[in-house]
């Protein structure tokens, strides 16, 4: 039997059954808070510095002041991973606004609540990494940046969840989301790339998306390591339909190929050679010594 997990919450490790937040916490009542999903490979916290920087940027943009320093959060993550005997893991790091009144007023919450969960995760079945996954295009657009910038990794994911429901209703696990101008933005939980004419292409951050850590790793590290040019540019569905390959990236998903979008087959209908090379390069790097920068 799997031993009960220990959760780090507000400075202490407690059994999962005792890890509780107040029903007055604004993270629960209003989705007021920020979070990060972080991978651990061989005991090393993948891109830890980048994740903490993004967390602090998100918190600053909603005027949420963390109780703990980045160094203290780093120690909490390592302590939680160790306490649960994990070498390869998924960390969910959450900072909520904390308990307050039943009104929206965020500054009537005296103290944020900080949570570190370390567990395992498998977002998609293993066979989909071999043959590629089918996705759809969601009818629901991505929230415009002017309304709620998707670059803020907040606890309010209802826009993504509603698009995810569309995918589940279509018997697939992911949906591509367009912005209100009809440009490709991202998926419900993953960033998106395509391969065309020997280049790796991905929408720019101005398309309205989460600034993905794995996305940036592909752009800055994996693509150049394989000698393949990577370009950020505005894309429409026609660019995906005509691409040689399409693949998704995310902390939980890692890198996974797309075989079809709706009823349209992409490329050969499987995982393309560039995507396979990126997956192999990614796995090689994280298995040897996952970068923590």
Q: Catalytic residue numbers?
A: 153
What are the helix (H) ranges across 103-257? Answer: 126-131, 158-169, 213-217, 223-225, 237-241
Gap between the Cα atoms of 12 and 125, Å rounded? 34
Gap between the Cα atoms of 215 and 249, Å rounded? 6
Residues 6+ apart with CB under 8 A from 214: 191, 249, 250, 251, 253, 254, 255
Gap between the Cα atoms of 213 and 52, Å rounded? 11
- Order of strands, edge to edge, in the sheet holding 44-45? 12-15, 6-9, 113-119, 89-96, 33-41, 44-45
Gap between the Cα atoms of 158 and 196, Å rounded? 33
Strand pairing class (230-232; 199-202): parallel
Backbone angles phi, psi at 126, to 5 degrees: -60, -35
DSSP assignment of 84-97 equals TT-SSEEEEEEEE-
SS3 call for 134: strand
Contact 57, 129 (CB under 8 A): no
């Amino acid at each position: 039997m799997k031993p009960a997990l220990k959760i780090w919450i507000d400075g202490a490790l407690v059994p999962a059954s005792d890890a509780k937040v107040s029903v007055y916490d604004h993270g629960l009542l209003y989705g007021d808070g920020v979070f990060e999903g972080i991978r651990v490979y061989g005991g090393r916290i993948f891109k830890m510095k980048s994740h903490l920087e993004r967390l602090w940027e998100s918190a600053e943009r909603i005027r949420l002041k963390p109780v703990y320093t980045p160094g203290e959060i780093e120690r909490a993550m390592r302590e939680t991973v160790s306490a649960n005997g994990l070498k390869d893991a998924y960390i969910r790091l959450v900072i909520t606004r904390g308990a307050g009144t039943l009104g929206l007023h965020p500054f009537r919450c005296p103290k944020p609540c900080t949570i570190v969960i370390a567990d395992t995760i498998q977002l998609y079945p293993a066979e989909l990494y071999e043959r590629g996954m089918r996705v759809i295009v969601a009818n629901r657009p991505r929230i415009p940046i002017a309304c709620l910038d998707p670059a803020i990794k907040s606890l309010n994911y209802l826009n993504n969840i509603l698009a995810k429901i569309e995918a589940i209703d279509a018997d697939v696990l992911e949906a591509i989301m367009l912005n209100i101008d009809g440009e490709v933005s991202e998926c419900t939980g993953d960033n998106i790339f395509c391969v065309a004419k020997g280049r790796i292409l991905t929408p720019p951050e101005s398309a309205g998306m989460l600034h993905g850590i794995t996305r940036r790793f592909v752009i800055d590290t994996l693509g150049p390591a394989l000698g393949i040019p990577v370009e950020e540019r505005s894309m429409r569905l026609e660019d995906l339909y005509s691409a040689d390959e399409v693949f998704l990236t995310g902390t939980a998903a890692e890198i996974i190929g797309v075989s079809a979008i709706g009823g349209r087959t992409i490329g050969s209908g499987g995982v393309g050679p560039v995507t396979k090379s990126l997956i192999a390069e990614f796995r090689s790097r994280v298995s040897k010594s996952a970068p923590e920068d």
